Every structure is written in structure tokens, then in C-alpha cells.
């Protein structure tokens, strides 16, 4: 195969048209016994972006400023540092004692948690527009203050939702970055959150990162549908089938 750029559709490379349809690395060619220089540099750039996404500090100040008059509460998990968070997933599932005491108890239909997860990059780019789109679809719902959680794993939302007195919790969190995208956001919905909930008791909407992934409006439509069904059936997880009408995945 030629050493032409892997993404150049003007060549006679039979893989060129297929590469335009996917972000996967296919038909990269070779230069001797190695990858072509362009493909190798592209791989190294993607790897660097993935590492940066994992280690980028979570900027709660910038996120809070984007919410305007929407009440915001900031918490941290029991993981004392990013290094410990990556080594001890269990600590990312529990609130620090100080944060647990700071959450205002109440009676809410839903609580939203924005957590850094494994890609603060994704959260910085997509969490606020996604949540704003969701809030426009919740007329009549009582919503707890938005919680910004540093050192957050998905299950941290169970502790937060229970302490807030929320009927369900939706955790918007940075997904594990890969070599195709480093800024993918996920949403995990849990009915009657409390510590000890299993992953099978949640519903997940993943791959939110327009323009290449699910768009904000489509993600908001899907979550609003799941929330209404969860309230009707009084459950989430494997027993709540995603039978929502087909949605346009574009932004």
C-alpha cells in the first residue's frame, strides 16, 4: 500500500472511502515494516489527547459560572487526589465527610450530578449544554441544586441523591477516553438512589459529543423519556427497556 496520508480520499487507496465512514483506524498502510509517518503521528496525538482528558483538572468554577442563577453545590469524593482516584475506584464512589455534611436535604423529583469521571475534557465541553437542554423538558419537576462532583465515579450519585432526598439521580460524567474520541459524555439514571445500588439498576445514555456523537437535544429527549418512564414504573435499569421513539442523533 502507498505511504499517502491515511485520510486522503484523492488517492487510489481502496480504503479511502471506508475511512470516511468511521473514526476507527482501518487500512492504515505501511512504510516498510512500520506504519506510515502520518498514521503514526495521528495515533500518538490521539493517545496524548486521551491522557490529557484523564488528567485535566476539573474546573468547577467555569462550570458554575455557566449556570447563572441555577443553584449549584460543589462536593468532592473520598479520593484525596487524582492519582488515588485512579488507583482506588471505591473512594470515588463515596463522598468525603465534609461534602456529605454540606448537602442540603430536601424532597426533589430529581437531582443532577456533573462529575469529572475519566474525562474532565468531555464534561467541560458538553455537560452544561446537555443539562440545559434537559431542564427545558422537565416542566413540573422539582429539581435539586446541581451538584458538581470532583473525583466522581458513577455510584457517587447514589450517595448524593439519597442525601438530597431525590426520587432519582442523573449523573453526567466523562466517559473513559479512547483513541477515537477523548471527549465523550455519558448520563447514568438511577431511580431511588441509595448507596449499594448495582449497575444493573441504572440506565445509561452514552457517546454524547456532537458533531461526531449523540447531540445535546437528542440526549435530552432520550433522558426525559427515561425519566418519565422511571417515575411511572418506579424503577430503572434492565427492567426499564429503552423503547423511546427513534430520535435524531444530530446536534
- Residue 215 located in a structural domain: yes
In 3-state terms, what secondary structure has residue 59? coil
Give the count of domains, the chain: 1
- Residue 81 located in a structural domain: yes
Task: Write the CATH number for 83.
Answer: 3.40.50.11240
Question: Which residues does 63 contact at the CB level (< 8 Å), separation at least 6?
Answer: 72, 114, 123, 124, 127, 128, 148
Domain that holds residue 114: 60-233
Give the integer Cα–Cα distance in Å for 201 and 237.
4
- Residue 105 located in a structural domain: yes
Considering the entire predicted model, what is its pTM? Answer: 0.86
- What pLDDT score does 162 carry? 96
- What pLDDT score does 7 carry? 52
Q: Are 158 and 195 in contact (CB under 8 A)?
A: yes
DSSP per residue over 65-133, as a string? HHTTTS-EEEEEBS--SHHHHHH-GGGGGSB-HHHHHHSPP--BSBEEEEE-TT-HHHHHHHHHHHHHH
- Residue 191 located in a structural domain: yes
- Residue 220 located in a structural domain: yes
- What pLDDT score does 1 carry? 43
- Residue 10 located in a structural domain: no
Report the phi/psi class of residue 7: left, alpha or beta, with left for phi > 0 and alpha for psi in -120 to 50: alpha
- Residue 23 located in a structural domain: no
Q: What is the pLDDT along the chain (251 residues), one digit of tens a residue?
A: 445 455 554 457 788 888 777 777 778 788 888 888 888 888 888 889 888 888 899 999 999 999 988 899 999 999 999 999 999 999 999 999 999 998 988 999 999 999 999 999 999 999 999 999 999 999 999 999 999 999 999 999 999 999 999 999 999 999 998 888 889 999 999 999 999 999 999 999 999 999 989 999 999 999 999 999 999 999 999 999 877 666 544 44
- Residue 54 located in a structural domain: no
Q: 231, 148, 236: which is closest to 194 by C-alpha? A: 236
Amino acid at each position: 500500500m502507498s505511504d499517502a496520508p491515511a485520510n486522503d480520499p484523492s488517492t487510489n487507496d481502496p480504503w479511502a472511502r471506508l475511512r470516511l465512514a468511521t473514526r476507527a483506524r482501518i487500512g492504515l498502510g505501511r512504510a516498510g515494516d512500520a506504519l506510515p509517518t502520518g498514521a503514526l503521528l495521528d495515533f500518538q496525538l490521539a493517545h496524548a489527547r486521551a491522557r490529557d482528558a484523564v488528567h485535566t483538572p476539573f474546573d468547577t468554577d467555569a462550570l458554575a459560572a455557566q449556570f447563572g442563577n441555577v443553584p449549584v453545590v460543589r462536593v468532592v469524593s473520598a479520593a484525596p487526589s487524582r492519582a488515588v482516584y485512579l488507583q482506588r475506584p471505591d473512594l470515588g464512589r463515596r463522598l468525603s465527610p465534609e461534602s456529605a455534611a454540606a448537602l442540603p436535604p430536601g424532597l426533589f423529583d430529581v437531582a443532577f450530578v456533573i462529575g469529572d469521571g475519566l474525562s474532565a475534557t468531555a464534561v467541560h465541553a458538553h455537560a452544561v449544554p446537555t443539562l440545559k437542554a434537559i431542564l427545558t423538558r422537565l416542566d413540573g419537576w422539582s429539581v435539586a441544586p446541581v451538584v458538581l462532583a470532583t473525583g466522581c465515579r458513577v455510584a457517587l450519585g447514589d450517595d448524593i441523591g439519597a442525601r438530597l432526598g431525590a426520587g432519582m439521580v442523573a449523573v453526567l460524567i466523562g466517559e473513559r477516553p479512547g483513541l477515537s474520541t477523548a471527549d465523550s459524555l455519558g448520563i447514568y439514571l438511577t431511580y431511588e438512589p441509595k448507596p449499594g445500588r448495582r449497575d444493573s439498576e441504572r440506565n445509561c445514555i452514552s457517546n454524547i459529543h456532537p458533531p461526531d456523537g449523540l447531540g445535546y437535544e437528542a440526549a435530552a429527549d432520550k433522558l426525559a423519556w427515561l425519566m418519565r418512564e422511571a417515575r411511572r414504573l418506579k424503577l430503572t435499569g434492565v427492567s426499564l427497556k429503552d423503547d423511546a421513539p427513534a430520535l435524531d442523533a444530530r446536534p
